Amino acid sequence: MNYWLFKTEPSECSIDDFARAPTTPIVWEGVRNYQARNFLRDGVQVGDHVLIYHSSCKDIGVAGIAEVVRSAYADPSQFDCRSIYYDPKAKAEQPRWVAVDLRFVQKLPRLITLDKIKSSAKMAELPVVQKGSRLSVMPVTIQQWRDLLALQ
């Protein structure tokens, strides 16, 4: 089992959206970066646990936890010309992008803020605090997972 951190802009989809419909699978689509896609396609497995991280917003940080319930499949939004994620170069017989499905596990009682993560020496190696790190899907070690959740 692996651990991950997924970034999302809460104005698009936030932990509260998931909490409101906790039994509805969360379709994680729209990843349009090859390195992040490769993690999704080759690494993310059913049963993996995921930190939901809110970015590009007022309250930045880890907001909750989800679990993978479906591994990588062709991201439907790449074929949808009305979608902001539409990719005219993607072909049905050779999809470029993949999606996974998640299940809501919990919203953390309090956000683990980026400030707090940065101020923890144990989190120095966490990809999300590395300079220039912009991946929306990043691996997290079990130790980082435990240490991070211990910050709350």
Considering only the C-alpha atoms of the chain, give the largest distance between any 2 of them, rounded to a whole number of Å.
Answer: 47
CB of 39 to DNA, least distance (A): 12
Q: Which of 92, 51, 54, 84 is nearest to 68 (CA)?
A: 51
Among 24, 45, 133, 143, binds DNA (CB under 7 A): 133
Q: Does 38 bind DNA (CB under 7 A)?
A: no
CB of 131 to DNA, least distance (A): 5
CB atoms within 10 A of CB 72: 22
Residue range at the interface with DNA (CB under 7 A); choices 12-20, 73-81, 97-105, 124-132? 124-132
CA dist 12 to 7, 19, 67, 131, Å? 11, 14, 19, 24
Q: Please list every residue from 88 through 107 that binds DNA, using CB under 7 A.
A: 89
Residue whose entry in the numeric block shows the structure tokens 């104005």: 11
Q: Does 55 bind DNA (CB under 7 A)?
A: yes
Among 2, 33, 71, 83, binds DNA (CB under 7 A): 33
Q: Please list every residue from 13 through 32 that binds DNA, using CB under 7 A.
A: 32
Task: Name residue 67's amino acid.
Answer: E
Q: Which is nearer to DNA, 32 or 69 (CB)?
A: 32
CB of 4 to DNA, least distance (A): 14
Q: What's the rounded Cα separation, in Å, for the pair 85 and 75?
A: 9
Q: Which of 130, 124, 120, 127 is nearest to 150 (CA)?
A: 120
Residues within the interface to DNA (CB under 7 A): 7, 9, 32-35, 55-57, 60, 89, 114-115, 118, 128, 131-136
